[in-house]
Amino acid sequence: MYLATAIRVDDRQFSSLNDTLNDCARILDAPEIPELYVIQGPYANAFTIGMDRPFIVLTSGLLDLMNEQELRFVVGHELGHALSGHAVYRTMLLHLMRLAGNLGWMPIGGWALRAVVAALMEWQRKSELSGDRAGMLCGQDVDTAIRVEMKLAGGSRLDEMDTQRFLAQAAEYERTGDMRDGVLKLLNLELQSHPFSVLRAAELSKWIDRGEYGAILGGNYPQREDDAQSDLGSDFRSAARSYKDNFDSSTDPLISALRNFGSTLDGVVNVVGQGVTDVASDVRRRFSEWRNNSDDEPRDGDA
C-alpha cells in the first residue's frame, strides 16, 4: 500500500533522511536496512510494521516538527523496533485490537480479556521505551532525545519550554492527587499504545542515570546471538511483571492504599503473562494460516 500512497526514501528522495537511516543502521549493526517511507499527514507520527520484512513510516507532520538531529533519534527509535522483532507482533497486535470486540473464539471471559489486552498494551508501551534507547544510541545526545519528547508533548515552541520543569512533571504526575485521580490515571493509560511523552523522557533519564547507556557505549551489551535465546513469552511475562514492579515502587495515592491491604499480584502476574503468551501464539498461528490460505488461492490468470 505504501508504494502507492507514500514516498519511498532513497538516495534521490529525501536523501538526507536516507543518509540518517544508513548511519543509524551502521551504529546499531543492523544486518538489513528496512525500507523507509514518508507519508502525508498533519500529525507527528512514526511507526514500524510488517510481517516478513518490517518497514518504517514517518509522517510529513513529523518531518516538519523535528530538526535533523531529532529525526536521527526518531529513525533510530524505529530501527530499534525493527531490529528487536517488534514489528511482527505490533502488526499482529494491531489486528488483535481491531478485532477485540469479536474474539468469541477465545476461551476467556470479559475481565480476563481486559487483563490480557492491558498486558498486551503494557508490552507495547515497554517496546516504545526500548525504541527510545535505540534512538538515544543513534543520536548520542541527551538534550536532543528530551527535545523530541518535549515536541511530541507540546509542539515546536521550545523557547517556551524548560527541560527540568518538563522532567519534573513526571514525578508530580505520579505522586499527586487522591485515590480517584489514581483510578483515572490507570484508565487513561490502560489502552494507550505509547507511554505519555513526559513519562518517556523520565524513563530515558533514569536509564542514563543508572549507567546502562554509558555501559553500552563502553562496549558492554548483549550480543545478537544471545538475543536468539529470548522468546515472545518471556517478553510478555516481563511486561506483565512490570505491573508488580510499578506497583511496589509507585507513590501514587491509590496504589499506596492498595499496597496497605496486601496483594496477590505475583500470582496474577504469572497468569496474565502466560495468558498473553497463549493468546499471542494463537493469534500468530491463525494469522499465519490465513496468510498461507490466501497464498494458495488461485489468482486471476492462474492455470
Looking at the annotation, which residues are catalytic? 78
Cβ count near 278 (within 10 Å): 16
| Angle formed at CA 201 by CA 196 and CA 28, multiple of 5 degrees | 110
Cβ count near 240 (within 10 Å): 27
**3-state SS, residue 187:** helix
DSSP state of 219: T
Strand order in the sheet with 7-8: 7-8, 35-39, 55-59, 46-49
Specify the DSSP element, H or E, that contains 233. Answer: helix 232-249
Residue from 131, 102, 100 nearest 118 by CA: 100
DSSP state of 85: T
Q: Which residue has the cell 543509524?
A: 24
CA–CA gap between residue 121 and residue 47 (Å, rounded)? 15
Q: What is the sign, positive or negative, of the torsion defined by CA atoms of 151, 153, 159, 161?
A: negative
Number of residues that make up the chain: 303
DSSP state of 56: E
